[in-house]
Amino acid sequence: MAAMLAVAMTFGRGEPGAAQTALDERQQHVATIVTGEIEKLTGPAGRNCGIYTLSGVDGPSPVGRRELREALRCVLAAQRRGQAAWAIWQVPHVDAILFDGVGASAVSAVHTVAGRGSNADVELAPCLDPRVGRDLTIECANRRPPTPRDVEKARRALRRDLERTSGFVWADVAPEAPPAGTSGDPSEALTATVTAAQRHVHAAGEPQWPRCPHHFDHPLTYRDGWWFCERDAAFIAAVGRLSTVIPRVKRRR
Residue numbers at the binding site for Zn ion (CB under 5 A): 212, 214-215, 229, 231
Nearer to Zn ion, 155 or 211 (CB): 211
Minimum distance between the CB of residue 109 and Zn ion, rounded to whole angstroms?
A: 17
Pairing state between β 47-52 and 85-90: parallel
Phi-psi region for residue 251, left (φ > 0), alpha (ψ -120 to 50) or beta? beta
| Between 129 and 230, CB nearer to Zn ion | 230
CB of 154 to Zn ion, least distance (A): 22
Residue type, 151: V
Using CA atoms, how far apart are residues 57 and 23, in angstroms rounded to an integer?
8
Q: Is the bond preceding 207 in cis, omega lying within 30 degrees of 0?
A: no
Burial (CB < 10 A; 0-12, 13-18, 19+), residue 16, is exposed
> Least distance in Å: CB of 159 to Zn ion?
23
Strand partners, 86: 48, 103
Q: Which is nearer to Zn ion, 179 or 213 (CB)?
A: 213
User: Least distance in Å: CB of 124 to Zn ion?
Assistant: 15
- Minimum CB separation from Zn ion for residue 40, in Å? 13
Residue type, position 24, single letter: D
The amino acid sitting at 96 is: A
Minimum CB distance to Zn ion smaller for 65 or for 214:
214
Of 187 and 221, the one with the shorter C-beta distance to Zn ion is 221
In the complex, the smallest distance separating the C-beta of residue 233 from Zn ion, rounded to whole angstroms, is: 10
For the beta carbon of residue 41, count every other beta carbon within 10 angstroms. Answer: 21
Q: How far is the CB of 228 from Zn ion (least distance, A)?
A: 9
Query: Residue 173 carries which DSSP code?
Result: H
61-68 CB contacts, 8 Å cutoff, 24+ apart: 61/89, 61/92, 61/136, 62/12, 62/13, 62/89, 62/90, 62/92, 63/89, 63/136, 64/136, 65/132, 65/136, 68/132, 68/136, 68/138
Q: What is the CA radius of gyration of the chain?
A: 21
- For residues 116 and 214, which CB has a smaller minimum distance to Zn ion in the complex? 214
Q: Identify which of residues 120 and 229 has a Cβ nearer to Zn ion in the complex.
A: 229
